[in-house]
Chain A
């Protein structure tokens, strides 16, 4: 992996620092070996198409704004911006990372040029696991081991710098809220963004490097670097 890429990932991670810190969550493994993210105080509100609530869409909207999705995907901090989330428009919107070129794609719910044909589960899996929604089945994933628990045996990852540190440790509820907003809170915009010229998926697997990105769920508190200091 090139140095250029490492630094790009680190830069990307800065965006997520606030998220990780703000997220008072606890992860547990249930008896079936299934991973579960428990959010203090309640049930996870999994959105169902046709019954998505305005409240959930608003929660997702706030997360999208505060986590700067539109810094790359179009529109900055302003949902009123005409380019809101509809993807790269100029060469300046592209990232060149070593030999690779990443073009932030249209994440409005347009059926062909955006994410309209992907289920909220596929968007959830993209944010949690970095799996490309168009190339990962619409199924619940319960393991991080390729070939087990519906984790694809040949995982297909998003082009860097998406998505590892930024989203993977958010709570299930937060990820579902983002998926609900993207699918049910944004007008579809037909705008085709050329595909990224990122690494082939089988190279991108290297980005799951635990030393760089860390496992999901995160290692239990405290690690050697941490202590509880009341």
Chain B
């Protein structure tokens, strides 16, 4: 019998009332990395209204997990038995979806298991060996995901491996990217659906000019010359795609949705579509006292009719500030990170074609009572996701991570576990997936939250 521990998260005010003013981003950049054996870990998580200051001088009535935006970073190890005791103190129905994690259907937090106001729900899961990576949690209620995420309900989940190949000496930061649009009084600009802006938001997915990292505008990360930092970046925006670059620097891309690659890849910029995650190493190649900014560069994911006029303007995301300390000797990064076992296309017993159009999958709107794909537990299948229209759609499958085989006919250059694949306008993506361990009804959908709420979603039912 494993010892039972209580890890009650006390970051920020755990029982925030609507009147409490809490500085956003009380969540630190740096989670603990101390190694320990697997065990049972329990968390208390409460969604409730709170009042925070996002833009100095104003307050915003938000929805918050444990009183903070983003919610607390939930950090567990492969093999841990995780129990999250969730309480819904909102006045609306919600769920907590554990994005990317392989878990039982009843813990997926999909619209099939709503949590009514005042109710509690226990989410129980056990991250399996090999699943170390960066995940996140957010609401997934029927037709209301965008609204609740935009109001502040999102947080990070870090699953750690017992044998992480990257040096423990690397300072580590979790960066949750989101964007928002506030009125001058600090309240959320959530227009009526029938208004012009409401329709643009519906078409593009809601974007805002306020770019936030861990709930803060343009925060500063300090780095020492010569230092290498490990950043886990999560795109929690409703729709915005980030193309991140730090002028004068490169990123060492080491991981994606489901953890590390087999080998690091050196890149000048990195794209993160909705709900995707990346792990990168940032090398402090500047001199002591230097300053730099991480920017997001323009990316044209839009149809011409609703493309913002300034879509290609680079925007600052965060400041990188070099300390005045003398340069340090860089830590050596291993050339091989881990083995990612390949799913074998020869084992695939079916090919599923998913045609994405604007707001629909295979010509259909989502119906909770309909099953779109029936599959057997243990089966390996190939999904071909075609985008028939002139806007990118980031595609998400619940429950089972997959491996991208091809994008637009081009073989994927390296193997990785993914739960998101962005399908650019008029392109196709092909992935392979195995339905292991868990039966149930699993959603697949566009992760532009407004599209998902509109019904750009289907249901995969896995049965014995």
Contact = CB atoms under 8 A, between A and B. Distances in A.
Interface of A: 111-113, 117-119, 122, 132, 134-135, 137-138, 154, 156, 192, 195, 197-202
A202 B364 CA distance: 21
B363 interface: yes
A198 B305 CA distance: 7
Nearest to A113: B426
Given A122-B363, A192-B426, A195-B304, A135 B357 contact: yes
A119 B362 CA distance: 9
B367 to A, nearest CB: 10
Question: Could you tell me the dominant secondary structure of chain B's interface residues?
Answer: mixed
A192 B386 CA distance: 14
Given A119-B363, A137-B364, A137-B365, A154 B386 contact: no
A198 B304 CA distance: 8
A199 B304 CA distance: 9
B364 A135 contact: no
B332 interface: no
B303 interface: yes
B360 A135 contact: yes
A176 to B, nearest CB: 17
Given A197-B304, A199-B305, A118 B202 contact: no
Contacts of A138: 363-364
Question: Could you tell me the dominant secondary structure of chain A's interface residues?
Answer: loop
24 contacts: A111-B355, A113-B426, A117-B357, A117-B363, A118-B363, A134-B357, A135-B358, A135-B360, A137-B365, A138-B363, A138-B364, A154-B199, A156-B358, A195-B303, A195-B389, A195-B425, A197-B304, A197-B305, A198-B305, A200-B199, A200-B203, A201-B199, A201-B305, A202-B199
Contacts of A200: 199-200, 203, 305-306
B428 interface: yes
A119 B358 CA distance: 15
Given A117-B388, A195-B304, A134 B199 contact: no
Contacts of A199: 305
A135 B428 contact: no
Contact of B359 (A118, A122, A135, A195): A135
Contacts of B202: 154
For the complex of A and B, 10 pairs with smallest distance between CB atoms: A134-B357, A138-B363, A195-B390, A200-B305, A135-B358, A117-B355, A197-B304, A202-B199, A134-B388, A134-B389
B370 interface: no
Contacts of B306: 200
Contacts of B305: 197-201
Contacts of A134: 357-358, 360, 388-389
A81 B193 CA distance: 46
Size band of the B side of the interface? 20 to 34
A201 B390 CA distance: 14
Nearest to A101: B304
B203 A201 contact: yes
Nearest to B426: A192
B374 interface: no
Nearest to A203: B305
Contacts of A202: 196, 199
A118 B358 CA distance: 13
B386 A117 contact: yes
Contacts of B386: 111-112, 117
Interface in B334-388: 355, 357-360, 362-365, 386, 388
Contacts of B365: 137
B461 to A, nearest CB: 21
A59 B379 CA distance: 45
Contacts of A112: 386, 388, 426, 428
A200 B198 CA distance: 13
Nearest to B428: A112
A197 B357 CA distance: 17
